[in-house]
Chain A
Amino acid sequence: MSRRRAAITGIGVLAPGGNGTKAFWALLTSGTTATRGITLFDPAGFRSRIAAECDFDPAAEGLTADEVERTDRCSQFALVCAREALADSKLDLDNVPPGRIGVSIGSAVGNTITLEQQYVVVSDTGKHWVVDPAKASRHLYRALIPSTIAAEVAWDCGAEGPASVISTGCTSGLDAVADGAELIEDGRADVVIAGATDAPISPITVACFDAIKATSPNNDDPAHASRPFDANRDGFVLGEGAAVLVLEPADEARRRGAHVYCEIAGYAQRSNAYHMTGLTADGLEMAEAIRVAMGRARLAPEDIDYINAHGSGTRQNDRHETAAFKASLGARAYEVPVSSIKSMVGHSLGAIGAIEVAASALAIEHGVVPPTANLYQPDPELGLDYVPLQAREQRSDAVLTVGSGFGGFQTAMLLTRSRSGGAG
C-alpha cells in the first residue's frame, strides 16, 4: 500500500487571548491566561461563571453580512481560520481540481448558541413546549445540523471532494484532523482543509457542565482557574475557538516548495467502553492509542520530545492521562516535558484538539515548549515534568498530542518535523 503522509502547510487559529496564529503563539509562549468572567451572556445564578472567550468581531474579520446572518459563531470561527490557514499555506487552490479538495471539520456541540437563542424566541422564553414555527429565523435549519459548518468552509474554498463534520465530543478536533490525514493517505484528496471549531459559551452548555460539576467554580479568580496538574485544580474552564490546518501530501508539498510545519506521522483512536463521563485511573485505553499511534509513526518512546497533554484541569483527567503516559512511554514519560495549553485558553470542547495540533506544530516550528500556566503546586501523585509557568526553549522533532472526551473516546496523534526541514 502507498504510504502517502499528510503534511501541515498552513495554520489558522482563533483562540481566546488574541485572534490569529501569531497572537495565539505569543499568548502560549508568554504563559498568559485568557480565562475571565463570562461576558457573552449574564452568568448570574450559574455555578461556574468563568470562561475563556474570544474577542471576535465577524465583520472586522472579513465576513460578509450574509455570512454572519446565516451562520453560528462557530462557523464564523471556522471560516476565519480556514482563510488564515489557506493564506499561510500560499497554496493556489485554483490550480487544484475542486474534486481533489476535501474538508474535515470537528465540532462537539455545533451551533448551540443559535439553537438556544432561537429556542428562546420560538418558545417565548421557555413558556411553550409546542413552540411557534412562525417566529423562527429562516436560517434555523442551518443551526440544527452542524454539517453546515463544513459546508460553509467547503463553499468558501471551492472544495468539491469529501466533506464532513466529525463530532466525537471532546476528541472531535483531533479526530477531524486524523480524518483529513486519512483522506490524504488513502489518496482520496490532494488538499484537505481540516480543523475544528466550537462556540459553546451559552447558558445551556454552561448549565449542563454545572449540573455535573465538571467546570471550575473559581469565579473570584478566573485568571487562575484553569489549573491542570496542580494540586488545587477544581474543574475545567470552558473555552471557545477554532483552528484549521491545510493538509497536503508531504512529498507534493515539498515539491511545490511549500513551507512544511510538520507531518502527521501517526494517530489512533481507542475507547474506554467504561462510562460516558468517567475515566479509569489506569488510563489503559489512552495508553493503547498512544502505542498504536507510535507504531504507525514508527517512533519509539525515546523519540518523543514533547507531550501536548489533554490537561483539562480535572483530577480524574490528570490521573488518567498521567497513568497513560507512564504506561505507554515507560521511563521516557519521566523525562519528556508535558504541558497543557488549556491552562491558558480553556477547554473549547471539540475545537481544542485542533488548536492543540496547531500548538504542537508551532512547538516544532519555533523550538519552544509552551508551559502549563497556573501550575504552582504540582500534584505530588502525578510526578511528571509538566513545564510549570514558563515556556521552554527546546528543539522538538516529534510531538505527541492527546485528547480524551465524553463517550470514553481517547485519541493520540504524533507530529514530526519534516524530513527535508522546512520547519525551523
Chain B
Amino acid sequence: MSDDSQRALITGVAAVAPNGCDTNSYWAATLSGLSGLRPISRFESDGYPVRVAGLIDGLNPAELCGDRLAVQTDRWTQLALAAGERALADAELVPAELPPYDMAVVTASSSGGNEFGQLEIEALWSRGPRAVGPFQSIAWFYAATTGQLSIRNGMKGPCGVVVCEQAGGLDALGRARRALRRDASVVVTGGTEAPIGPYALTCQIASDRLSRTADPQRAYLPFDTDACGYVPGEGGAILIAERADSALARGVDQPYGEIAGYASSFDPRPGSGRPPTLRQAAEAALADARAAPHDVDVVFADGAGLPGPDAAEAAALAGLFGPFGVPVTVPKTLCGRLYAGGPPLDVVAALLAIRDGVIPPTYGIGELAPGCDIDLVREARTGRVQTALVLARGFDGFNAAVVLRAA
C-alpha cells in the first residue's frame, strides 16, 4: 500500500524488560541469552507454589517519573511512563511541537494497578474506609496508564485502553493504527504489566497455568517435551506509531518498520468441538498486510509453555506455513509472559530483528514436544528480515496477530 496517510510506521521504541531495563540492554540480553527469570524475592513467597518470575531489577521506575507521580501511580504505570519518555526520545519526537489533538495514547492492560490496589484494599479492611487514600481511584483502574501518558505528554487525541490478557498487547497496536487512519498522526502505544505482588500472583496461581519449577532455567519451556507452565513477568514496551506522511514530513528517515497487518479472533468455547482460531487471526493479518505466508521471514510465537496450547500453536503454524516451514522464535523464554506487556516487547524484538538482520533465538529449549513440527530458532540466525509475524494469545481464547514489515 503506498498511500502514506494509511500507513502506520513505528518510529520509536522503548523496552523495559526483566532481562534488560532499556532497549539496548534488552536486545543485547535477548541475543546473548541473558535471562531475567529469578526467584521471587519481592516478598516472603515461601508459601507460594510458584517460585520464579521475570523481575526488573536495577530500575526504580518511580525515580524516572518523579515523586509527585510516583505516589499516585502503580508500578505498572510507572514502567509505562518511563518507557514512554524513552520511546518519544527514540523517535526524536517532542510532543509540545505537535498539535495536541493529533496525538493519542492507546495501551493495553491485563490486571491494572494491582499492587497499589492491594495496599489500599488492605488499608480498608484493616483500618477502615477512611484509611483509603485519594489515589486509589486513579491508580488502580485499567485506564490509568493511558490517562497518565496523555496528561504527561499533552496528548489530546482519541485515547484508548484494551483488555484481552496477553493478546491485548497486539490489539493496542491494531487500534493505534486505526486511530492513525482516522484521527491522529502520532499514537503512543504498547503496554506494560506489573503482576508480581502477593495478591495478583495468588490470582494467577489459581489459573493453574503457572510453572511451579524452582529452577529459573527449567521453569518456562514452550514447545519443549518438558513444558510445565509459564513464568509470569513484569515489564513490556511502549512504541511510537506514526502516520507515514506526517513522519516523513517531520524528517523521519529510518523508521523501525510498518504495522502492515493486524487481525484478532476468539476461540470457541472449550468442549464445543470446534477448532481454535489462532490460524484464522494470522491468516487475516497476512491478508490485511497483502502478504503471503512465504513472505514471512520469522514468527514470534505466543509460546504458552503448556503442552496443549503449545501443540495447538505449532499445529496452526505448521498448517499455515507447512511443517518446519518458517523460522519460529520465542525470546520471551528469557523474560516470562508479561501479559499486556509481552507482545509489545516481542514487537520491539521483531523490529530490531528487521533492523539488524538477525533472528533472536529461543534459549533453553531441549527436545521439541511430539507434534511440534516447527523450525524453532535455537541460535541467532543472521540474514535479511523483511517481514515478521507476531502472535499473541490471551487467557480464555483471545488471539491477535500483527504483521511488521521493513519500511
Contact = CB atoms under 8 A, between A and B. Distances in A.
On whether the two chains bind one another, the answer is yes
Contact of A108 (B141, B151, B203): B141
Interface string B372-383: 000000000000
Interface in A278-329: 285, 288, 292
B178 A168 contact: no
Interface stretch (A50-58, A116-124, A222-230, A254-262): A116-124
Contact of A147 (B47, B104, B125, B396): B396
Given A151-B396, A182-B178, A273-B151, A164 B45 contact: no
Interface stretch (B27-35, B194-202, B251-259, B357-365): B194-202
B387 interface: no
Interface in A123-140: 123, 125-127, 129-134, 136-140
Name the residue among B124, B140, B266 with the largest chain A CB count within 10 angstroms: B266
A408 to B, nearest CB: 6
A162 B125 contact: no
B163 interface: yes
A406 B138 contact: yes
Given A123-B122, A160-B265, A165 B206 contact: no
Contact of B198 (A99, A131, A163, A166): A131
B109 interface: yes
Secondary structure of the A contact surface, majority rule: mixed
Given A207-B132, A406-B147, A409-B147, A165 B162 contact: yes
Contacts of A131: 198-199, 202
Contacts of B147: 169, 271, 276, 406-409
Interface of B: 43-45, 47-49, 72, 100-101, 104-105, 109-112, 114, 117-118, 120-126, 128-130, 132-134, 136-138, 140-144, 146-148, 150-151, 153-165, 168, 171, 175, 178, 183, 198-208, 263-269, 274, 277, 280, 394-398
B43 A166 contact: no
Interface string A177-199: 00100100010100000000000
Interface of A: 45-47, 98-99, 103, 108-110, 115-116, 118-120, 122-123, 125-127, 129-134, 136-141, 143-148, 150-151, 154-155, 158-169, 172, 175, 179, 182, 186, 188, 203-204, 206-212, 214, 268-277, 285, 288, 292, 405-409
A145 B160 contact: no
Contacts of B163: 110, 145-147, 164-167
Contacts of B137: 208-209, 211-212, 214, 277, 406
Given A99-B277, A164-B168, A409 B143 contact: yes
A158 B142 contact: no
A206 B129 contact: yes
Contacts, number: 263
Contact of B266 (A127, A160, A188, A276): A160
B306 to A, nearest CB: 14
A144 B200 contact: yes
B269 A119 contact: no
B264 A162 contact: yes
A138 B120 CA distance: 24
B96 to A, nearest CB: 11
A182 B177 CA distance: 13
A204 B139 CA distance: 13
B47 A132 contact: yes
Contacts of B72: 276
Interface-centre pick from B43, B158, B395, B398 (highest chain A CB count, 10 A): B158
Nearest to A137: B206
Contacts of B280: 99, 160
A285 B158 CA distance: 11
Given A163-B266, A168-B161, A276-B147, A141 B395 contact: yes
Given A140-B206, A406-B147, 6 more contacts: A127-B126, A140-B203, A160-B267, A175-B160, A208-B137, A270-B156
A151 B168 contact: no
A164 B138 contact: no
Contact of A110 (B142, B266, B269): B142
Ordered nearest first, which 8 A-B pairs have the shortest CB separation?
Answer: A407-B147, A126-B125, A151-B396, A141-B207, A144-B203, A126-B126, A167-B142, A140-B206
A144 B264 contact: no
B199 to A, nearest CB: 5
B122 A167 contact: no
Contact of B164 (A118, A137, A164): A164
B43 A167 contact: no
